[in-house]
């Protein structure tokens, strides 16, 4: 190791120390927004305008809701509307706002053995997968995507008895890695899919069903429930996200020329 590398590491350590000293808020976020690179695009803009550093903890929606309910975050950004509304009515959050949307897509091997690309709706596509007993991997982790997936089946597959339906208990990325390796179908949000590097020969086989709408919401954690929360900075971030500056920052985020999220705050 050269002296220059050693020096660089020392600078790295002190930079990490300096970052600790400044003022920051913690966002409990779903992984899809974090893995896509959205935050790297929009957070520097927010910091430039407000001076507040935003630290993102990316976990599944289920875990994000629990962490925020434990007061281990100042802001919650997830995609499971019913659970978000319950979070607010339970007194954990101040109010819920729509931020942006995109959609879920059904991906699978390009050969499409179950023929889902010939169907028009997600429910029909899943029926076919069940009929043909084509392998389908489910997140199985109580995440936003998992909740949507389980709600799409006309007849819920039994993970115990049906060998073709495999519950992973893993994040979106791990599930996609597994789906590609197994040649299996799975449901994913479009942002994760577009930013995913290991697609193999997998393709989007079904999209555009209104049932696949994917709404993201943002909630500031309630200072009444969590006295130590940084309420002002948290509300500042929420207001920025649903305001014109945040909304245009979200709209500007693209991967390979494709916009990943459509801002739709009211």
Partner 1 sequence: MFDFATAFAEAFALVFAGDAALVQIVGLSLWVSGCAVLISCLLGLPLGAALAMTRFAGRRALVVAMSALMGLPPVVVGLTLYLMLSQSGPFAVFELLYTPTAMIIAQVVLVTPIVTTLTRQVIEDLDRDLSETLRALRASWFDRVGTLLWEARLALVTAALAGMGRALAEVGAVMIVGGNINHATRVMTTSIALETSRGELALALALGLVLLALSLGINAAVLGLRDRAEHQVAHG
Q: Nearest approach, Cβ of 81 to partner 1 (angstroms)?
A: 24
Q: Nearest approach, Cβ of 174 to partner 1 (angstroms)?
A: 6
User: Does residue 85 belong to the site contacting partner 1 (CB under 8 A)?
Assistant: no
User: Does residue 55 belong to the site contacting partner 1 (CB under 8 A)?
Assistant: yes
What gap in Å lies between CA 219 and CA 27, rounded to an integer? Answer: 10
Residues with Cβ within 8 Å of 70's Cβ and at least 6 positions away in sequence, in order, are: none
Q: Determine which residue in the list 113, 140, 173, 223 makes contact with partner 1, applying CB under 8 A.
A: 173
The interface with partner 1 within residues 176-215 (CB under 8 A) comprises: 176-177, 195-199
Stretch that binds partner 1, among 23-31, 77-85, 148-156, 252-260 (CB under 8 A): 23-31
User: Does residue 228 belong to the site contacting partner 1 (CB under 8 A)?
Assistant: yes
Nearer to partner 1, 119 or 192 (CB): 192
Stretch that binds partner 1, among 50-58, 80-88, 144-152, 249-257 (CB under 8 A): 50-58
Pairing assessment for the beta strands 213-221 and 262-263 based on DSSP bridges: unpaired
Q: Nearest approach, Cβ of 146 to partner 1 (angstroms)?
A: 15
Q: How far apart are the first and last CA of the chain?
A: 54
234 torsion bin: left (phi>0), alpha (psi -120 to 50), beta (else): alpha
What gap in Å lies between CA 138 and CA 176, rounded to an integer? Answer: 10
User: Does residue 256 belong to the site contacting partner 1 (CB under 8 A)?
Assistant: no
- Burial code (b: 16+ CB inside 10 Å, e: under 16) for 242-253 equals beeebbebbeeb
Nearer to partner 1, 119 or 177 (CB): 177
In three-state secondary structure terms, 65 is helix
Q: Nearest approach, Cβ of 225 to partner 1 (angstroms)?
A: 10
Q: Determine which residue in the list 25, 38, 42, 58 makes contact with partner 1, applying CB under 8 A.
A: 58
The H-assigned helical ranges of 31-171 are 31-35, 38-50, 61-69, 81-89, 122-132, 144-152
Check: CB of residue 179 under 8 Å from CB of residue 107. yes
What gap in Å lies between CA 151 and CA 6, rounded to an integer? Answer: 53
Q: Determine which residue in the list 25, 75, 77, 172 makes contact with partner 1, applying CB under 8 A.
A: 172
Q: Give contact residues for partner 1 (rule: CB under 8 A).
A: 1, 4-5, 8-13, 15-16, 19-20, 24, 26, 31, 35, 39-40, 55-58, 67, 70-72, 171-174, 176-177, 195-199, 226, 228
């Amino acid at each position: 190791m050269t002296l220059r590398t050693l020096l660089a590491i020392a600078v790295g350590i002190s930079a990490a120390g300096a970052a600790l000293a400044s003022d920051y808020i913690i966002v409990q976020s779903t992984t899809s927004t974090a893995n896509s690179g959205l935050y790297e695009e929009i957070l520097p803009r927010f910091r430039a305008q407000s001076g507040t550093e935003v630290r993102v903890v990316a976990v599944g929606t289920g875990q994000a809701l629990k962490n925020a309910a434990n007061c281990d975050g100042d802001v919650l950004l997830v995609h499971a509307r019913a659970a978000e509304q319950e979070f607010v009515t339970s007194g954990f959050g101040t109010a819920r706002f729509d931020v942006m949307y995109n959609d879920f897509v059904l991906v699978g091997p390009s050969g499409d053995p179950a023929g889902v690309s010939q169907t028009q709706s997600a429910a029909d596509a899943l029926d076919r997968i069940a009929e043909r007993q084509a392998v389908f991997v489910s997140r199985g982790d109580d995440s936003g995507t998992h909740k949507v997936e389980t709600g799409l089946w006309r007849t819920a597959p039994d993970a115990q008895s049906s060998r073709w339906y495999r519950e992973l208990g893993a994040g979106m990325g791990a599930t996609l890695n597994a789906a590609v390796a197994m040649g299996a179908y799975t449901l994913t949000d479009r942002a994760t899919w577009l930013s995913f590097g290991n697609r193999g020969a997998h393709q989007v086989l079904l999209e555009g069903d209104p049932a696949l709408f994917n709404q993201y919401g943002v909630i500031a954690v309630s200072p009444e429930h969590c006295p130590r929360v940084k309420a002002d900075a948290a509300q500042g971030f929420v207001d920025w996200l649903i305001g014109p500056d945040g909304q245009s920052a979200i709209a500007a985020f693209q991967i390979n020329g494709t916009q990943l999220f459509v801002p739709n705050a009211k």
